[in-house]
Chains A and B, each alone.
Chain A
Amino acid sequence: MIGYALKRFLGALPTLFIIVTVAFFMMRAAPGGPFDSARKLPPEIERNVKAAYNLDKPLLVQYGLYLERLAQGDLGPSFKNKDFTVAQLIGIGLPVSMRLGLLAMALATSLGVSLGIGAALRQNQWQDYSVMTVAMFGITIPTFVTAPILTLLFGVYGVHIFGLEFNLPVGGWNGGAWRNLILPVAVLSLPQIAIIARLTRGSMIEILRSNYIRTAKAKGLSANAVVLRHALRAALLPLVSYLGPAVAGILTGSLIVEEIFGVPGIGRYFIQAALNRDYTLVMGVVICYAALIVLLNFIADMIYGLLDPRVRLS
């Protein structure tokens, strides 16, 4: 197992290297620089500033220097947020983004799996049709539409449901108070709930038709035991391989959600940094996200190995 993990880790290094390289040269190919501002700096000061950040050197030399620092674990200083290093900024933003993302993932998995199982057990009945219709909406309607509409309903108008009045804050973070979390997490998880429900329903229906389930039923197991103990484990396999794309989806969604709800996560940094040509910060966020995706794909493979005895990790 450790050998496998090591192999995967080494295998991920070339991928990360390519990401770093591509992102580095693409950012530098963009017109403008971090120190172009409305007020023109005197040439000698501009020269000094550029020299301080090595921006006066040839591009390849800058790339070499960047890689050298990166290899030592140093992401460099932020060009725009003075007094902060990129590592510090990520250290502030990442926990916020992670909190949102993990909550959304947890909600999406639990709700999506339950809805999917429910729909599969009531295949072609009204429960099935309603879950699948809602899922269709969840998949088709993008985050940047659901976010304002939900805000309008639950934040601005304060809709009453079951006698409860919802008057949620329309934005801000407030140190991560749960009231501030509800809307962003709901918006972020909606498409994932829909996709997971669909996936679970599909694989569950297929599994329920298989022979070993018939055997389990024939030997007199209760319906619950058949579903929970025998069918579920196999039905969750496609879900595990969806984990990678799901994380990518949550990351993409978090760019929008953080922007709309004013959540101080790293997605917001990224857009600002890309527009301001804050080279090091862009690189830092890209590396951070790429590493996250690589890590989660690895975890997904591990879980796959645990769930499916046919898969041996080596």
Chain B
Amino acid sequence: MTPIAARKGETLERAFAGRSLWADARARLFRNKAAVTGMTVLGIVALLALFAPFVSRFAYDGIDYSVVTCAPDWWPFEAACKAGPGHWFGTDAVGRDLFVRVLYGARVSLAVGFVATLVSLMIGVLYGATAGYWGGRVDALMMRVVDILYSLPFIFFVIILMVMFDRNFYLMFVAIGAVVWLTMARIVRGQTLSAKQKEYIEAARAAGVSPFGIITRHIIPNVVGPVVVYVTLTVPDVILIESFLSFLGLGIQEPLTSWGVLIADGANTMESAPWMLVFPALLMAVTLFSFNFIGDGLRDALDPKDH
């Protein structure tokens, strides 16, 4: 806590400015143990994924037929063979190091998660803000379109899109993003609509704040909260969709990999090599949990009604 007394070099006005909405929210977020744990775990996973080539001495596509489907050295159960030092998670059916592959899977899954969410954020915010700002007939028409798209069995369209793009990995971002923007658009529209006619906006206008000031100081902070929360909850959703597609063989292609592919491989060999299923599944579950905890923490932190 900063003492109220002005520190050296600070103007009196700044010392008494009080805490902003964001500083308040940040403090609340960091008091939430689950959210902090989530952020830490996610940070570690992201760093490991980012520096995957330097973390292990094995290459993600380095085939080694002398250690085919071997358990890690510390594996406590029965296994046909041990992979030897350095293979912390064992090896897969062609002797590739599983630890590195799980990290490369994390790269793909996280990248898809963030990029597709970004795509959905851009479409959703633009669409929702336009509808909310315009209002009237334009709004009614635009939201009718969203309603119709909402009632589509969306997973089928993702699958058809993937087939249409001939399983192109980069277009998967677009395919998923193009499908998950609907909720984003609804949230942004609703927020814009209600923010537009709040008393504090009127008060700000009466006090002579410029339109630009109203938008940046009053509307955006009030619209951003739910959007940020929804974004953190969309990322795990997208990771799930990607893994789902990869699991079905519609996603990423060998030798690159993602959690969905690794889990699918693991499921096929789980009788003889359960570690191939356990580690990717575990890391994925931990990551998804982290995102959910962060999302819940953000929701609590950003919702002023709750305090």
Known contacts A286-B156, A289-B153; A145/B284 CB under 8 A:
yes
- The B interface is mostly helix, strand or loop, or mixed, namely helix
Contact call B271/A156, Cβ cutoff below 8 A:
yes
CA distance A255 to B155 in the complex (A): 10
Identity of the chain B residue whose Cβ is nearest the Cβ of A245 in the assembled complex: B150
A92 lies within 8 A of chain B by Cβ: no
Kindly list chain B residues whose C-beta atoms are within 8 Å of the C-beta of A156.
Answer: 270-271
B79 lies within 8 A of chain A by Cβ: no
If A144-B267, A152-B274 are given as contacts, then 12 extra A-B residue pairs at C-beta distance below 8 Å, sorted by A number, are A18-B148, A30-B160, A30-B163, A140-B289, A141-B288, A144-B263, A148-B263, A148-B267, A248-B155, A255-B248, A293-B153, A297-B151
Q: What are 23 contact pairs spanning A and B, CB under 8 A?
A: A15-B148, A22-B152, A26-B157, A27-B160, A27-B163, A27-B164, A32-B166, A141-B285, A142-B244, A144-B243, A144-B267, A148-B270, A148-B277, A149-B281, A156-B271, A248-B153, A251-B155, A255-B248, A256-B248, A270-B156, A275-B163, A293-B153, A294-B151
CB-based A-B contact count at 8 angstroms: 105
Q: Which residues of A contact B (CB under 8 A)?
A: 14-15, 18-19, 22-23, 26-27, 29-32, 136, 139-142, 144-145, 147-149, 151-152, 156, 248, 251-252, 255-256, 259-260, 270-271, 274-275, 277, 282, 285-286, 289-290, 293-294, 297
B105 lies within 8 A of chain A by Cβ: no
Known contacts A29-B164, A148-B266; A290/B281 CB under 8 A:
no
Kindly list chain B residues whose C-beta atoms are within 8 Å of the C-beta of A294.
Answer: 151
Which of B159, B236, B260, B277 is A271 in contact with, Cβ under 8 Å?
A: B159
Query: Nearest Cβ in chain B — how far from A2, in angstroms?
Result: 23
Kindly list chain A residues whose C-beta atoms are within 8 Å of the C-beta of B285.
Answer: 140-141, 145
Q: Which residues of B contact A (CB under 8 A)?
A: 148, 151-157, 159-161, 163-164, 166, 236, 240, 243-244, 247-248, 250, 260, 263-264, 266-267, 270-271, 274, 277, 281, 284-285, 288-289, 292
Which of A19, A145, A274, A289 is B281 in contact with, Cβ under 8 Å?
A: A145
Kindly list chain B residues whose C-beta atoms are within 8 Å of the C-beta of A282.
Answer: 160
Contact call A26/B164, Cβ cutoff below 8 A:
yes
Kindly list chain B residues whose C-beta atoms are within 8 Å of the C-beta of A151.
Answer: 270
Kindly list chain A residues whose C-beta atoms are within 8 Å of the C-beta of B160.
Answer: 23, 26-27, 30, 274, 282, 286
